[in-house]
Each structure stands twice: as C-alpha cells, then as structure tokens.
Structure 1
C-alpha cells in the first residue's frame, strides 16, 4: 500500500488565522496525504524521523525525510479503527489501541527491520465488554498502565525477555457510574493518582511485593462535576464552582494532608485558569499547547512570564483529530476530509 504525498492544493487549505503580534511564530501547512481511511491516532519516535499513523484498521510506519514522508511498512493486527498510538522514547517500539473492544498491541522492530507484535491480554475472567481507552508508560518503560472505559485500570510489566505480562487488575470504585477521569504517575513514579468523574481521588503506592495497592482514598463530593487538574504531580489543584482553587499537598508518606484555598498573585491565578482551559488537550511539550473547541484548534505558546499566549487558530470543516510531534516542530491533523495535513512550526 502506498500514499500519495503532495503539496496541499491552495483551494483545500484549512483556514489559519495567526495572531498579528506573533505572525511569524505559527504552524504552516507543508504536506498533505490524500487518503480513504479514518486517521484518529498518530505517534512519533523521540528523534521525530519515524511517524506512525493509525490508518483505519491498519498502521502506517513512515520515514520522515526533510519535508516529505515515505511509507516504510503497513502493519495489520487490529479488527477495528486504531484510536491511540504511544511511541517509546528509548527504542523502536510502540503501542496501539483499537476501538470497539479491540486488542492492545505492542510492536517492536528487530535487527532486520521487521515489526513483530505481541497482543496484551486483558479480557480474561471479565464478564463485561469494555475497552482500553488510554495507555500510560513509566519512565523506565518497563510498566504500562491501561485505563479502561470503566472503573478500573490494568497494569502490565515487561520481563527480561522483553515480553509483556499482565501484573494487576485494580478496581477503582464500587460505583459502576464513577468512570475514571484522570490517571497519572507522580514525577518520581512512586505513586499513581486516579480521579473519578464523581469526585473521588485514589492514591496508589507499591507494597513490598512490588504491587500497586490503594494507600488513600479521598471523597470530594462537594465539587462533583467540576474540573480537576494535577498541576505538578506533587500537588492536586481543584477548581470549585465559584472559581477559587483548592490545593492538596502530599507528605513524605505520599498521603494528601493539607487543603487550602489559593490566594496568589494575579499571574498565578491566570496560569491556573489557563491550565484548566487546556486540561483535556495539552500537547506533548509544555512549551506549546492547543485548545480544541468545536471545529477550531487554538494554538498557544508560553511567553517570558510562563503564561500561554494564543498565536494561531486553525478552522476545520468537520470534527478533527490532532497531535504534535515530540519536539512540537510538527503538527498533524485529520478532519474526515480527503487529506491528512502536516504543519511545520516556523519562527522568526
């Protein structure tokens, strides 16, 4: 299978409006793929020379050369559209998720350049149909967390033979309606912080058998339905109905121990407001972020005061999917049109 890679025709360009003060610091459309499949997932290696695209049921592995892409491999293994791709920061390895109760697959490339796959088991012993909706990889890349469209998570561990085995299935809540809202490691990878839609916070830490166990549970019913943001992995910031913020800090035993209302400078308040605005669509790097609203993608860039300033807005014709490369030099988008668009960041 091959893709037609070409310059995007002027008549089909997405509408892009730069901020007039920083018109040189923006993403410009450089390449388009003419396609016939859904493309909802993108992945990039750490050097940004390998791009992986979820192309319907298939996965395209592409080599980037200057401002062109060459399809190197077409991988098959999913029985539904690929919805999520997570690429390793250390080696030629990535993880893919399929929709509609599909598989989770680990792809590794051998010395001959062949991609091998391993299916991760997570459905054994389960009585309910569910799917993995997000993957989280630790810094050592030997532990993988699968977040379910239900109220539990699954943990896989990597063996010395580079095989992944199921380590734990961890229920988060007895309430079937309390779906998981957010999962994250702390910056030292010593705990997992889980927040559910009904305002419950679960803190997990490892026991002597190297298994994750619930260390603490906090019920935050008074802010049910409000936004949450784990601001720096060592404190939990929660926005209440009237706009003020609650801060929870962690003690040496990794337990939340202190609650207080933020009373900081206007600059800090503006930063918190921005973090809540971009909570669900922050990019892979903190330097540039994006906010998706309806058919618009607003791109923001940090200024000298560590605040995000909008530099560009891109308008699409339909609902769209997007992802930044790991160094934010490139942006790739797809919006149910005939083209997968590639944008490159150009600064003064």
Structure 2
C-alpha cells in the first residue's frame, strides 16, 4: 500500500555498486562485519553472535565495530551524490505515503520486490546512514514490535506522529467498542481529535493492533468482528451484519458467500457451533438471534415465566405477547396457548396475569 506515492521499480539500478564503493572506506574486517550485519552480500542479515563466533570476539565487540564503522561512513554520505539520489527517492516515496511506510512496501516500491535481496539490504544500509545523528533529518526506521511491523518514517517527527496516531486510534476504537466503516473512519478520527493520521490505509498496513474485516470495517484485530477465528466468530459477524435472526442454513450460506476463506462451512457444523455458543439464542424453529439483541434462551413458557418474574406488577395479555415477541420469533397463538397453563399462570379478574404461587 503506497498511499498515493508513485511506484518505482529500481531493480536494475546501481545502488549495490554505490554501496560497495562506500564500504571501501572501511578496513577489511570492519567492511566484512558491516556487510554481513546488513546483508550487503547475500541479502540476508547475520546476527551479532554468528559474526562474533567467526572472528572469535564477543557480540558486544561486534556491535561496537558496527557502530564505529557506521559513524565513520555517515561523515562521507552527504558528499556522495549517488547516495543522495537514493535517499531523495526514498523520501519522495515516504512523503507520498503520508510520512511512513511499512518496510516491505518501501522495498516493493523501490526494487519491485518485498523479498530479502542485496538491493533492498543496500537501501536499508543507505537509509540507516542517512538517519544517523551526523545526518540530522534523515529517514528513521522503527523495528518490528508487538504493536506494528517494521517501518520507515520520513523523519523523527513523522515516526513519533505515527506512534501517537496509531495509539490514539486504538484507544478511540476501544472506547467505541465496535468497528467503524472505512467510509466513516476519517470523520471518526477527526471527532476524536486525532490529527496525525494522514493515510489510514498505510497505518492499517503497518499496525498489528488494527485491522479491517470483510465488510470493510476497521477495528481492533483482537475483535471477533474484525478477525474471526472460526465458524462461531464468522456466524456472529454475518448475523450481526444482517441485524435480524436467521435460520442456521441461511447463516451457513452467508458465511460461505461472504468470502472469509476458500474453505466452505458445513451446515451441520454451523448448527452445532450455534448451539454451543452463548452469543446465539434459538428464537424460533431453526432460527438464531444474538443474545446481545435481548433474546434469551428457553422455551416460550420459560420466557413468559421470566417476564412475569421480573415484572413489578401484573401484566396484560398484550404486554406479555409484546415482550415475548422481543425474545422469540413465534406466532401470537403459540404464546397464548402457553399462557393458558393454569398450573403456572394465574389470570386475575382485571384480565392481567401473574405467576401462580407454588
């Protein structure tokens, strides 16, 4: 996701030659250590430990050599027009994406591939040098953590703005307690005073805490409504979207037509999962609704008993029918037939009903 930035394919550029020329300023050992740490030869970075073992030195010593070498090279970066060209191109891409990009997306825009490669490793190396204190104002890399994937920011301010923006959006959505449609996301962001989210698409691609569901709604990735984990969650999501009770066969069809995955949901499996999950309530013959809609488990008679038990006064027949219909999809006659059980319900002289005392 490039957030509107121009797409570049620089796979055949001379960035690797530029980097080879640059590291010649280092001693042979230091050059080898830096090259292996950044993957400048193979495209794959090596650990401090593996490099240390090959030289018979500690991890800390390797880190010190790396830091010293980068400090040396950062002093000559500003005078190299070739390096300046790649830094400028990267800044253009980052700026077009709102100031930040997921590292893999930057790779794809720069070289045409988001896979490990010498070209992509060379870009990281150049941008790392450009972002050192000696080159104030250069791009900044944020390493992957529990909250977001590794990314590059236009500068330190853009990096901080990204972290603050994502954190604020997570808090706002947590308080909202439900996903927000993509069409309403910008107004939602503005309403919550979050001013540093320029391109929400880019932020969603980077954040590990935010996600978008099949209905184009944004929320927390931990929510079943955003990332359903199984048949139960998928049933919950489609039923909530329909906003009315559905037969279990229809729920299975909705799961399969929504496009969660290529694997089809079995009708009987769906029915079994609905029965086992307290989020779903049987409200009619094969019809299921959500308990959060006010539906309660039990037979029509049990619902009638529950209504009267929780009422502070006797209830008229019409009131009882209305309350049961809020919890069940049944015919009125079914309710009236159950109400005729004189062992359970007592009809008063004024026509209202109470529970018969044991």
Asked whether the two chains share a fold, i.e. TM above 0.5, the reply is no
Q: TM-score range by the shorter chain?
A: under 0.3
Higher relative contact order (CA 8 A, sep 6+): 1
- Name the structure with the higher helix share: 2
**TM (normalized to structure 1)?**
0.21
| Bigger Rg, which one | 2
